[in-house]
Amino acid sequence: MKKQLTFFLLFSTLIGVAQTGDHWKKSALSITPEILMGRTMESNDGFPETKLQKQAILSFGRNHQNDPQQWAQRLKKPKTGLSIGITDFGNLDSLGLAFTAMPFIEFRAFGNDRWKIHTGMGASYFTKKFDTETNPSNQAVTTDITWAFRLYLFYQFLSTKNIDWRTGIGYSHHSNGHTRLLNQGYNSFLVSLSADIKNPLKRSEFIPSENIPQYKKTVYDYVAVRAGLGRNVFALAFNDKKNVYTIAGEYGKVYNNTFKIGVGFYYRFYQHYYDYIEGNESLVQPGREFDYFRSNPWYYATNLGLSLHGEVFLNHVGIDLQLGINFHKPAYKMEWRINEGWDNTPRDIPTTWVLGELDGSYKKKNRISSRLGLKYYFIGMEKAPQNNFYLGASLNANLGQADFSEFSLGYVHSFNFRERK
């Protein structure tokens, strides 16, 4: 619980420090009330019946059209900010309400100012969650606080001097990042109506376009290392949180102090896997499928892989996406066997118990990893520092299925700075 509250506070403040000095004065403020309606998808068999989902959101944003920072100009003058919202999933008795705080960024789409892509990542607090006695049919969330994510496409259908009226369609998701089971999560599809109230406080400073710097195209190389501490659970019978330790490195290039692409490696050690093997639990006992794991518990509890990284810098803040290929994660087969067979697999598994089938879904999830998160750099990337440190928070997944939530500390060394032709 304490870890998840830290996530909540971190995500609520990161985007606000994306600018330095007095640049915020040059970014027009906006307030956007928004209402949404749509469908809450069923999270499990026997999921409670739901009526129309309803959301109310209030967003506080900064339009970076007049922001002279390079990232703001390279990203075609986006908007960043914080959204606060409340969601009624359509069944107050079983699903309750969710209160959400979510930093966001909004880009122009299709080369047209009327279309916008809006995405955000933050956290939600739930008033109802799964309970074996009082709420057994809702297996979507089992924790008070979860990750929250949304991706929307907006269209501005009417514009006045002070208000841009917009409609939109998109997807919202909530899950606890595999920090407790059950964790089916909420997936919702909604339509939106919003009023973007422009510069209500009249605090921005207009900057003539000729006074905005004309940036040259640049590129430089970097190497980076990070150490991560994650938390997850193993199975319903092992539903206490334990650590996932990560060491990772990467090499790549940064373009225009705004975009990063790189390749790297990662090494992970799963405490749950190690303890299951060392504890001589059911599936590693003599004669069982994974009895050979006991020959080297450390080796079989590890995960090795190669990764492809992409990142967008908003000066101090980085929006980070990683795709990886696992070439060593043997204990995931054991985890799949336990969690994907009959429901409520017991700790002592009979030899007659139906375990998860190693089908095509398993093969893909065992092979492909993903990672989505936010970073805060101690020195703004606008300055292209030679040496920099960052703090990060991320959600790691097996091909979209949550694996563990993670905090990380990283170091970046940049070199070979040059102009591009």
- Find the DSSP H helices in 176-247: none
| Terminal CA-CA length for the chain | 51
Domain ends where: 202, 237, 256? 202
Query: Within a domain: residue 213?
Result: no
β-strand 79-88 against 97-109: which pairing, if any? antiparallel
Query: Within a domain: residue 251?
Result: yes
Query: Within a domain: residue 96?
Result: yes
Question: Do 222 and 196 reside in the same domain of the chain?
Answer: no
Question: Do 176 and 223 reside in the same domain of the chain?
Answer: no
Residue 181 and residue 310: Cα distance in Å, rounded? 30
User: 127 near 138, Cβ under 8 Å?
Assistant: no
pLDDT at 202: 59
β-strand 218-232 against 368-377: which pairing, if any? unpaired
Query: Within a domain: residue 212?
Result: no
Residue 226 and residue 245: Cα distance in Å, rounded? 11
Question: Do 133 and 261 reside in the same domain of the chain?
Answer: no
According to DSSP, residue 234 is labeled -
Residue 232 and residue 242: Cα distance in Å, rounded? 6
Q: Taking the alpha carbons of 104, 107, 110, 112 in that order, is the dihedral positive or negative?
A: positive
Question: Do 253 and 170 reside in the same domain of the chain?
Answer: no
Closest CA to 30 of 131, 169, 154: 154
Region at 177 (left for phi over 0; alpha for psi -120 to 50; beta for the rest): left
Question: Do 72 and 157 reside in the same domain of the chain?
Answer: yes
User: 399 near 382, Cβ under 8 Å?
Assistant: no
- What is the number of other CB atoms lying within 10 angstroms of the CB of residue 68? 14
Cis peptide before 182 (omega within 30 of 0): yes
Question: Do 193 and 69 reside in the same domain of the chain?
Answer: yes
Domain ends where: 147, 168, 202? 202
pLDDT at 210: 57
Residue 135 and residue 141: Cα distance in Å, rounded? 11
User: What is the chain's pLDDT, residue by residue, as a tens digit (421 residues)?
Assistant: 444 444 544 554 555 444 544 554 556 788 999 999 999 998 877 889 999 999 999 999 988 877 888 888 888 878 998 999 999 999 999 999 999 999 899 988 888 889 999 999 888 999 999 888 888 888 888 889 888 999 999 999 999 988 999 999 999 999 888 888 877 789 999 999 999 998 766 555 555 555 677 888 999 999 999 999 999 999 888 889 999 999 999 999 999 999 999 999 999 999 999 999 999 999 999 999 999 999 999 999 999 999 999 999 998 999 999 999 999 999 999 999 999 888 788 999 999 999 999 999 999 999 999 998 889 999 999 889 999 999 998 989 998 788 998 999 999 999 988 887 6
> What does the pLDDT look like over 31-86, one tens digit per residue?
999 999 999 998 877 889 999 999 999 999 988 877 888 888 888 878 998 999 99
Question: Do 165 and 294 reside in the same domain of the chain?
Answer: no
Query: Within a domain: residue 94?
Result: yes
Query: Within a domain: residue 396?
Result: yes
Question: Do 317 and 404 reside in the same domain of the chain?
Answer: yes
Closest CA to 168 of 74, 55, 79, 82: 55
SS3 192: strand
Residue 130 and residue 335: Cα distance in Å, rounded? 22
User: 84 near 56, Cβ under 8 Å?
Assistant: no
Query: Within a domain: residue 326?
Result: yes
SS3 332: helix
Q: Taking the alpha carbons of 354, 360, 362, 363 in that order, is the dihedral positive or negative?
A: positive
Domain ends where: 202, 235, 268? 202
Question: Do 74 and 110 reside in the same domain of the chain?
Answer: yes
Range of the domain at 8: 2-13+22-202
| Three-state secondary structure string covering 357-416 | CCCHHHHHHHHEEEEEEEEEECCCHHHCCCEEEEEEEEEEEECCEEEEEEEEEEEEEEEE
SS3 348: coil
Closest CA to 372 of 408, 412, 420, 347: 408
Question: Do 253 and 155 reside in the same domain of the chain?
Answer: no
Query: Within a domain: residue 159?
Result: yes
Number of structural domains the chain divides into: 2
Question: Do 237 and 187 reside in the same domain of the chain?
Answer: no
Question: Do 242 and 387 reside in the same domain of the chain?
Answer: yes
User: 264 near 253, Cβ under 8 Å?
Assistant: no
User: Could you tell me the CATH number of the domain that includes residue 136?
Assistant: 2.40.160.20
